[in-house]
Structure 1
Amino acid sequence: MLVGSLVVVGAVSAPAQAACFETGYDMNVNIYIGGVRRGVESTRSTETCNRNGVYYGKIADTYTDGSCLSIQFFDPETVFVGTQGTSCDSAGYNFTFWDQTGDTEAWFRGRLTAFGTVSNKQGFGAY
């Protein structure tokens, strides 16, 4: 489904939401792995979702299972950029992602550090 310049991907195990829907509008993203909510990704600055190509985010591990939750970015969808941050508790970890392609659209997924399992990719734009 194409919404403006934002691509939204549906997840089988949980509804997918994008961090930036359009300029000036963001939403937290619950990260599900294996049908269980493992954490939340959120924006942390009013400078995010303004099409400047810089995404100020926060990843929080909200599930106590002995593993930490990492956030991995792809830009474009098929090119792995790297792990932007890892959180081991609900206090979270702040990270910054810079656009790699000039289109202010990227993808991310959560990854459990102890097990290596990953969530479905989430797409967002207008950051």
Structure 2
Amino acid sequence: MLFLVLKIIHLSSVILFVGSIFFITYIIDVLKHQNPKEEYKLFAPKISTRARKLMFINVPIVFLSGLALLFMYDFTSIAVLMWLKVALALGVIVTFFLSDWIVKKTDHIHWFHHFFHHAVIFVMALVVILSQLM
């Protein structure tokens, strides 16, 4: 029963995390190019701030529930895939916590912000694919 509860918590948290990054990348960034800069500056920071506050609660839940699930699995033939998934997921989590710093340091590089979000989504997709292979 504990395994099922942890799995539901983990999957719900992952869906929220991936959905937030997807929304920022494919909705907010598109609106940036379709609206005048002044209008964009009115709504985008509010959405981003709200999403970040939510993610600072959600990301530790993803991490802790994933860690608990990791140690509930028997270390069988899926262990290599599991550890690869964990490594990729940890990379995404660390990137999330460093994202403000990364964006500020690379603000002058116009293409980087776009690349950064797409790279994170790509790694998230790899984690989801690996989870389905197990």
Q: Taking structure 2 as the reference length, what is the TM-score of the superposition?
A: 0.26
Give the strand-richer structure, 1 or 2: 1
Higher CA-based Rg: 2
Which fold has the larger relative contact order, with Cα–Cα distance below 8 Å and residues 6 or more apart in sequence? 2
Give the helix-richer structure, 1 or 2: 2
Q: Taking structure 1 as the reference length, what is the TM-score of the superposition?
A: 0.27
